[in-house]
Amino acid sequence: MIRKILESTVGSMTDTEFKETLVLANTDIVTNRVAFRRRTSLPEVVEIAEICFKALQRGTETNLQKVGEKETG
């Protein structure tokens, strides 16, 4: 269910991207919410997961650029 909601907002994602996104989102929720005894609603989970997915994409793009620089250099 969460995957379908995410894909409707951020586009399609691979199984690996989805798993990594959930791991990051879970870590964020535990660190910033559970530790402070705050509840997290489904819309908040989706929002956090979207942010995590976008961060993963930026990291992947940066790493690909660095690999390209090493191959040409």
4-54 pLDDT per residue, tens: 999 999 999 999 999 999 999 999 999 999 989 999 999 999 999 999 999
Token reading at 22: 């959930």
Q: Which amino acid is at 36?
A: F
pLDDT of residue 73: 57
Give the residue from 32, 7, 8 showing the smallest Cα distance to 17: 7
SS3 string of 3-71?
HHHHHHHHCCCCHHHHHHHHHHHHHHHHHHCHHHCCCCCHHHHHHHHHHHHHHHHHHHHHHHHHHHHHH
